Amino acid sequence: MKKTIILFLVASLLAAAGAQQNAIIYGYVLDEKTGAPLDKVVVEIFASDDPSRAIVSRYTDSRGFFNASVQGNRNYEIYVRLGDKNPKQSVYVTGGAIQEVRFVVSMETISEQNIIEQPYFLVFAVIAVLVIGVILFDEVYMRRRKISALETDKEKLKNRIESTVELDEVSTLEKKRDRIELMIKMAQLKFHKRKLDDESFREIVRDKQKDLIEIEARLSELKKTKGNG
Summarize pLDDT for 51-77 with one digit per residue, the tens. 888 999 999 999 999 999 999 899 999
Name the CA radius of gyration of the chain, rounded.
40
Domain 22-105 has CATH 2.60.40.10: yes
DSSP letter string over 159-182? Answer: HHHHH----SHHHHHHHHHHHHHH
Element (H, E) at 45: strand 42-47
**Which of left, alpha, beta for 133 (phi over 0: left; psi -120 to 50: alpha)?**
alpha
pLDDT tens per residue across span 81-94? 887 778 899 999 98
Query: Whole-model pTM?
Result: 0.41
Sheet holding 98-105, edge to edge: 65-71, 22-31, 98-105
pLDDT tens per residue across span 179-218? 988 898 898 888 888 888 988 888 888 888 888 888 888 8
User: Domain spans of the chain?
Assistant: 22-105, 130-228
pLDDT at 193: 85
Q: Which amino acid is at 71?
A: Q
Pick the range with the lowest mean pLDDT from 33-37, 124-128, 220-224: 124-128
Of the pLDDT bands very low, low, confident and very high (cuts 50, 70, 90), residue 9 is: very low
**CA dist 108 to 32, 80, 116, Å?**
10, 15, 12
- Rounded Cα distance, 159 and 153, in Å: 10
